[in-house]
Amino acid sequence: MTRATNPSASPTIGIDLGGTNLRVALVSRDGDIVAEEQVPTPDTFEDLVAAMAENVRGLTPPDTVTAVGVGTAGMVDFEGTVHYAPNLPMLRRAPLGKSLRETLGVPIVVDNDANAAAWGEVCHGAARGCRHALLITLGTGVGGGIILDGGIYRGAHGFAAEVGHWQLDPDGPPCACGEPGHWEAAASGTALGELGRTRAAEGRAPNVLARADGQVDEITGYHVGDAAEAREEDGLAIIEEYAGFVALGFVGLANILDPEIIVVSGGLVALGDLLLEPIRAAFDHHLEGADYRPAVRVVAAELGSRAGVVGAAAFARELEIDG
């Protein structure tokens, strides 16, 4: 049996497009990365499509690719057109799916990168076997993927799961999108650094400040995390305060969506239970009717930064099976 006649058993291609890097990976049906290319994200739409095609061809023998999955930052419709992506200015109503399909001559599925990562965790990671799951990425912003009834939920137009963009506190820090006090602005990894700087400026984070060589403006979330890992009181306190903001968002999303599990991804999950335990404690405390419902598990993602390409490849595999 050749790869061409049994495509679902052969590796598939997943692409993860971010503001900084373009990753193209050949992924096995078990979710392992067989081979991968990573290049800086090109500046123009034409160069981007060309770079994607070139790297796909570089990873696969001619005529063996049967479908490609792409996860990209931004709002993506069901045709694979990227309508808006704050960190990818060349993508404004950009027909990414159509252009890549014309270039490669195979079916293409394009979805939001957080959806791809969520699907990766469902197919091969921390949410395996779950039919109702949230994946929340705490990074530069807050990304989200929503799994409902066993599939990615994309909404009426493909724009669902902008989970960070609702007001948590009108007096909170401004969101990258321009709105005041969105959850994203309080719960992102960026916000953790901000909180560290604020507490240090107040004289309440001496150990965190020392880790940034005494420079308040140099404090990032990493310094806070390092202090917490060393069990320094100020680092632990800032993590706990931050975890409270994260948990308030989980509570709202769980009240709306009633998931079985919330998978937390992003660099901060390296902190493990130092971060997750205070999130869980605050979450259980605030969840509506918590005494009357099964517990919602809050767990760390398992695939790390490869969730996006792995999930995108899983999208492609479904295209092959459907087709």
Interface with a second copy (CB under 8 A) = 75, 83-84, 92-93, 131-132, 144, 146, 148, 153-163, 165-171, 177, 179, 248-249, 251-253, 255-260, 286, 288-289, 291-294
- Minimum gap (Å) between residue 161 Cβ and a second copy: 7
- Minimum gap (Å) between residue 3 Cβ and a second copy: 34
* Selection from 102, 167, 166, 117 nearest residue 304 by Cα: 117
- Minimum gap (Å) between residue 224 Cβ and a second copy: 22
- Minimum gap (Å) between residue 8 Cβ and a second copy: 25
Quickly list H helices, the chain: 45-59, 96-104, 113-124, 183-187, 189-201, 206-211, 221-229, 233-257, 273-286, 307-322
Smaller CB distance to a second copy: residue 228 or 242? 242
Cβ count near 227 (within 10 Å):
27
- Minimum gap (Å) between residue 57 Cβ and a second copy: 31
Smaller CB distance to a second copy: residue 57 or 83? 83
Please state, in angstroms and rounded to a whole number, the distance separating the CA atoms of residues 48 and 161.
25
Smaller CB distance to a second copy: residue 3 or 98? 98
Concatenating the DSSP letter of every residue in 232-261 gives -HHHHHHHHHHHHHHHHHHHHHHHHH--SE
Tokens of 122: 């469902």
- Minimum gap (Å) between residue 81 Cβ and a second copy: 10
What totals of helices (H) and strands (E) does the chain contain, helices first? 10, 13
Smaller CB distance to a second copy: residue 15 or 163? 163
DSSP 269: G
SS3 133: strand
Smaller CB distance to a second copy: residue 13 or 161? 161
* Selection from 18, 310, 318, 323 nearest residue 151 by Cα: 318
- Minimum gap (Å) between residue 227 Cβ and a second copy: 26
Smaller CB distance to a second copy: residue 12 or 250? 250
Please state, in angstroms and rounded to a whole number, the distance separating the CA atoms of residues 216 and 206.
10
- Minimum gap (Å) between residue 203 Cβ and a second copy: 24
- Minimum gap (Å) between residue 241 Cβ and a second copy: 13
Smaller CB distance to a second copy: residue 110 or 228? 110
Smaller CB distance to a second copy: residue 109 or 247? 247
Smaller CB distance to a second copy: residue 38 or 167? 167
Which residues are CB-contacts of 278 (< 8 A; sequence separation ≥ 6)? 239, 240, 243, 244, 247
Cβ count near 198 (within 10 Å):
16
CA-only gyration radius of the chain, Å: 20
Please state, in angstroms and rounded to a whole number, the distance separating the CA atoms of residues 159 and 287.
26
Proportion of the chain in helix, strand, coil states, percent, rounded to 5: 45, 20, 35
